[in-house]
Chains A and B, each alone.
Chain A
Amino acid sequence: MKVSLNWLKQYFNENLDGSEIEIILTKLGLEVENREKLDQAFSNVVVGKIIKLEKHPNADKLQICMIDIGKNEKLQIITGAENVFVGMNVPVALVGSKVVGGNISESNLRGLPSYGMLCSGAELAIDSSLLSDKEKEGILPLAEGLELGQDLLEVFSLHDEVLDLGLTPNRADCYGMYNVAKEIILKKDFTLKKLEILKGEKSEQSFKIEINNENLCHRYVARKIKNVNIKSSPLWFSNLLRNVGIRPINNIVDITNYVMFELGQPMHAFDYDKLEGGKIVVDNAKAGEIFITLDGKERKLEKDMLLIKDGLKSVALAGVMGGLNSEVDEYTKNILFEAANFNSASIRRTSRKLGLRSEASGRFERGLSEENALKAMDRAMFLVELLDAGEVDKSYFESYPVKQVIPTIKSTVKRVNDILGMNIQREEIVAIYKKLNFKVEIDGDNLLVTPEAHRIDVKSEIDLVEEVVRIYGYENIPATLPVGATNTIKVDYKIKLIEEIKTHLTDYGLNEIVSYSFIDKESYKKCGYDFSGDKRLKVMNPLSENQSFLRETLLPGIIEIASRNYKRQRRNIGIFEVGRAFKGSDNKLPEENLKLGIFLLENEVKEWYGKTKNDFYTLKGILEKLISAISNKKLKFLKLTDMNTLHPGRAASIIADNEIIGQIGEIHPNVLTEYDIKEKAFYLELDFKSFKEPIVKKYSSLPKYPTIERDMAVILPKDLDYEKIYDVISESSNKMVVGCRIFDIFEGSQIGDDVKSVAFSLTYQNPNKTMTDEEVSEIHNIIVNDLVNKLGARLR
């Protein structure tokens, strides 16, 4: 909402200062998003009249203009514009002036001097939306009768400041500048002038108003103007409109716009003689009804849309746009003005469905006071007379089936202070209500407060509390700390877990990333997931197709980020994300599962101390460290060969407590190719669904007897898993082996093609006594025998 200082000044005798008004409105909760001085765009541009036009002798497209700029001064200016003619008033940028695009100096065009420039609207920084089609082309034509030589800043009343207000939905009344003026006097001791109006008498004789849907139309006021004189509004009037961003059209339309910007009440003007049947009917549209709006477009209506009809046909889409069939034009003789109150939700739905939004529909959508309608009509009638636009009918027509209920709200001084934590005296509170022009009645401890009609946002006691503190000043509230009982809500373990995981993983050298929760359908495919299979979660109204699905795995987001960094020549990529992934469910809400994804690039580098690179086991080591840091879980790994995401020979399901909690592996080369990653990379994803706060472990007593280490090297079938070897060792050792460390795995033709040599160091310990060499040898031999017999091992 644009507010012009010139406009506001009409309501006060006092002068207004833009920066002070900005501070006042900010303190009152009307946010000022921007404040602009309008006289900065150009200078030294005056009104001139073209008194002579000649073709330039040396250039086909140029004309030599002789311009009268008053005070007997004439200037020769050469122009390339085509829309100039003798007698035309034009904006003349004098030598030494500033316009959009630069400073003007004396110049020479094809051998002839030019002392200035004729300006277009754009060169004067006039927004094209404020110009008619005719005004947009070439030099801006100025009105006849202007004083020659007059400064254009004055002609257009541009010594003005405009504040752009970002209004909150509760203060829709401030879409009317007169209500903004009412706010100013809350903080400034100014006298607000009463609006001049032209009241009428209510008549039901000649014209009937019928409201068939009282829910959607609470009030309808109409008044007739005879013998209208349609012409341009006077400059002072159109300047006010232009400065708040409204294009002046003609006096009638300008008056409706002016009242809308002054009181927030949209109005409409019908050509009275195009209305048939001697009445106005407010009613729902028929489903599928076609209606042609003012802009000439055919609109297909639905039956919950509200129409204004005459006795025979539809003439306006209520609150949204008038109809072409009743449009005011240059032949219009008589006019019917409308000021009505329509249901805000209905207007919103209609304008949304038809894609038709206007200043008027915007105001209706936010809600209006019913009382405002007649007030606006009376004001418009005053303006009709003021601008000499026609003869105002003495009477007005009205239907007002649903009267505005202005509540009387009970409040106490104590309640106000209890909520604010302050001690504002009763007199002060009453004074605030009075300033607001709210009626106050004192009834014992109670204050009975009746707000002004336009303040439809004030409905209950809490609204009054807000008014008090708003005007008392937020800056005057003390800052205290609450006192009270101790909080007993328990912290969810998962919340602590997230923080711990992030701390551990960053300690291990990984960087945390944050990716979007919605991903591209394509990225599922790129990551090797079967897209068709499951019930995917899709956003109904995504910003774009590539943000339309909710992630079920973190991989697409993480690998995308890895790939972006890879493309920036980054090779040291170890990243993780902790976040929720989603899954469709039969409940109202989908499942939200806390997941962790870790991505590690191979990144083979030579360091001064040797070569380093990441592989499957680097990632597995990170996993094992993390899990033992955050839980008591024992992990098992089960080969995973049927995934398109991970390498079929280098992937595993991660299992804990007999449940699959994730996957780990080398990323499938096909997936890496999709993301232009040209070296190996590893990924794991964990689901924390089954994680619970670990049970505190009891201490176990320290072993009293020493350990003995023995090495062993055996040759085993190549495909035999370590886990199987370990199982045999722990079974055969009768719990006397407390540690098993592999220190060498060797494959090579020296020992045969289908075998590998595995060397490990076993740690023996008997919890009850010191083991002798013989006892150790005995068990060691059993283990060797079992490895030979059960796994086909042979000793090296």
Chain B
Amino acid sequence: MLQKIKSFFEVLEADSLESKSDVLINILLLAENEGLSEIDNGKTVDELKIIQTKYCSKKGLLPDLMKYMGKVSNKDKPVLGKIIHDFKITLENKFNERLTALKNAERQAKLEAEKIDVTLPGCNSQIGHKHPLTLVEEQVKEIFTNIGFTVVEGFEIEEDYYNFERLNIPKDHPAREMQDTFYLNEDVVLRTHTSPVQARIMDMMCPQLPVKIIAPGKVFRRDDDSTHSPMFHQIEGLMVDKNITFADLKGILLHLLKSIFGEERKIRLRPSYFPFTEPSAEVDVSCGNCNQEGCRVCGYTGWIEILGSGMVHPSVLEMAGYDPNEVTGFAFGIGIERIAMLKYGIDDMRLLFDNDLRFLEQF
């Protein structure tokens, strides 16, 4: 091969390479084919590197060809340059192509060897769970903060004055019997409802308007059986402003209960009595268990009692310093346990306070 090239250049006249280039290209084509097949046969990256040396290194074919650049005429130089370049590119392209293919194959093999069992469980994947009472409380808070209510909190241990008297329940009022009370001393009680927050917040706000709050928290009553716990949770709601109506109360409660239990639920207000609201209403939600056909959950009535509510009694407004002729308001108290039991289908209230982790982890 080198001999043939050498002979070619020996007979080459100056400035004639352009016309004779076919001959040189044909000579090189042989070399090229030989090189290409060698590359094709290279089995590993290492083998390929040896082949590369053969063709491209200082001892290879290309440097030999380059020697003639100095020997040909100026006019022939670019012609030869292009021939050499084409030859080199062809081989290099082939070489790179092959190298890439081999590297890919090698990586593929490595990845194949590295495979793992993706079905094994992840590490430390355990998450904790908020208590269902917290979940309900947070949901109710969100519903109300979205419509402009502020969350506030009161004292769990409260003065008799705020727990009763400010709510229109003086000493000896028969309504005191509606709630059996834990006393710390004659004047201090464990609050029996979240309603004292009403008086506390109105005292703080008066004469500003509106008062628009909800107040979640623990409450306590001297009762302990399968449907009563001596400690339970309520959320108090209070809105006081000019022109607040009983119809507004109904609208707000409808919004609340549909948000919790679903759009298809209906609500029913029944007249009731609380000393600190008038008119007062017990609110029932349609039974979702039986679609009001009647079942055990709703005691075959189609309705489930869910909260107490009403228009803030004029005396309660007055004691806080508001003029009941100018200002009206509504208030309601929601039992969180009750909502949680209905929402999650919990049939025994004691589960909420037993804190069995098998139970808590379901939420």
Judged by a CB distance under 8 angstroms, whether A512 is at the interface is yes
**A482 with B184: in contact, given A168-B272, A344-B174, A539-B190 (CB under 8 Å)?**
no
Question: How far is it, in angstroms, between the C-alpha of A518 and the C-alpha of B221 when the chains are bound?
Answer: 12
Interface centre among B131, B209, B211, B246 (most CB of A within 10 A): B246
**A477 with B355: in contact, given A508-B128, A580-B156, A589-B155 (CB under 8 Å)?**
no
Choose one: A470, A484, A488, A499; the contact of B241 (CB below 8 Å): A484
Chain B's closest residue to A509 (CB) is: B126
Measured CB to CB, the closest approach of chain A to B358, in angstroms, equals 8
Choose one: B120, B127, B153, B184; the contact of A539 (CB below 8 Å): B184
B313 touches A512 (CB 8 A): no
Helix, strand, loop or mixed for chain B's interface?
A: mixed
Return chain B residues, CB-CB under 8 Å to A420.
245-247, 279
Judged by a CB distance under 8 angstroms, whether B24 is at the interface is no
Question: How far is it, in angstroms, between the C-alpha of A31 and the C-alpha of B299 when the chains are bound?
Answer: 14
Question: How far is it, in angstroms, between the C-alpha of A509 and the C-alpha of B361 when the chains are bound?
Answer: 11
Chain A's closest residue to B313 (CB) is: A462
A565 touches B269 (CB 8 A): no
Choose one: A172, A470, A561, A579; the contact of B279 (CB below 8 Å): A470
Return chain B residues, CB-CB under 8 Å to A481.
248, 251-252, 255
Choose one: A345, A505, A589; the contact of B128 (CB below 8 Å): A505
Judged by a CB distance under 8 angstroms, whether A606 is at the interface is no
Choose one: B138, B158, B250, B328; the contact of A419 (CB below 8 Å): B328
A486 touches B148 (CB 8 A): yes
Chain A's closest residue to B267 (CB) is: A479
**A469 with B279: in contact, given A344-B174, A366-B174 (CB under 8 Å)?**
yes
Choose one: A499, A510, A542, A588; the contact of B182 (CB below 8 Å): A542
**A540 with B183: in contact, given A29-B270, A475-B269, A516-B230 (CB under 8 Å)?**
yes
Judged by a CB distance under 8 angstroms, whether B72 is at the interface is no
Measured CB to CB, the closest approach of chain B to A538, in angstroms, equals 8
Interface residues of B in 205-256 (CB under 8 A from A): 205, 208-213, 218, 220, 222, 224, 230-231, 239, 241-248, 250-252, 254-255
Judged by a CB distance under 8 angstroms, whether A582 is at the interface is yes
A513 touches B131 (CB 8 A): yes
A452-465 CB contact bits vs B (8 Å, 1 = yes)? 00000000101101
Return chain A residues, CB-CB under 8 Å to B251.
478-482
| Count of A interface residues, CB-CB < 8 Å | 95
Return chain B residues, CB-CB under 8 Å to A507.
127-128
Choose one: A29, A484, A510, A542; the contact of B210 (CB below 8 Å): A484
Question: How far is it, in angstroms, between the C-alpha of A349 and the C-alpha of B177 when the chains are bound?
Answer: 12
Judged by a CB distance under 8 angstroms, whether A592 is at the interface is yes
**A537 with B184: in contact, given A169-B177, A568-B356 (CB under 8 Å)?**
yes
Judged by a CB distance under 8 angstroms, whether A574 is at the interface is yes
Question: How far is it, in angstroms, between the C-alpha of A710 and the C-alpha of B147 when the chains are bound?
Answer: 57
**A474 with B281: in contact, given A479-B251, A565-B356 (CB under 8 Å)?**
yes
B175 touches A169 (CB 8 A): yes
Question: How far is it, in angstroms, between the C-alpha of A460 and the C-alpha of B168 when the chains are bound?
Answer: 14
Choose one: B230, B281, B356; the contact of A564 (CB below 8 Å): B356
B184 touches A506 (CB 8 A): no
Choose one: A469, A489, A502, A539; the contact of B130 (CB below 8 Å): A502
Judged by a CB distance under 8 angstroms, whether A27 is at the interface is yes
**A466 with B279: in contact, given A169-B175, A489-B150, A511-B357 (CB under 8 Å)?**
yes
Measured CB to CB, the closest approach of chain A to B336, in angstroms, equals 10
Measured CB to CB, the closest approach of chain B to A675, in angstroms, equals 14
Question: How far is it, in angstroms, between the C-alpha of A690 and the C-alpha of B336 when the chains are bound?
Answer: 29
Measured CB to CB, the closest approach of chain A to B253, in angstroms, equals 8
B361 touches A487 (CB 8 A): no
Choose one: B129, B208, B250, B352; the contact of A511 (CB below 8 Å): B129
Judged by a CB distance under 8 angstroms, whether A234 is at the interface is no
30 contacts between A and B (CB under 8 A): A31-B282, A168-B272, A169-B275, A170-B273, A171-B273, A365-B174, A418-B243, A421-B247, A460-B314, A466-B271, A474-B268, A480-B245, A481-B255, A482-B248, A485-B241, A487-B150, A495-B153, A506-B130, A510-B128, A511-B357, A541-B182, A543-B222, A543-B224, A564-B356, A565-B356, A574-B128, A580-B156, A588-B187, A589-B158, A612-B124
Residues of B within 8 A of A (CB): 120-121, 123-124, 126-131, 133-134, 138, 148-153, 155-159, 172-175, 177-178, 182-185, 187-188, 190, 201, 205, 208-213, 218, 220, 222, 224, 230-231, 239, 241-248, 250-252, 254-255, 268-273, 275, 278-282, 311, 313-314, 328, 352-358, 360-361
- Beyond known contacts A480-B250, A482-B239, A512-B131: 20 more, CB 8 A cutoff: A31-B272, A169-B173, A169-B273, A462-B279, A462-B311, A470-B271, A479-B250, A482-B244, A484-B244, A489-B152, A489-B211, A491-B152, A511-B357, A514-B134, A539-B182, A575-B355, A579-B218, A582-B157, A592-B156, A608-B121
**Top 5 A-B pairs ranked by shortest CB distance?**
A421-B245, A29-B271, A421-B247, A168-B273, A345-B172
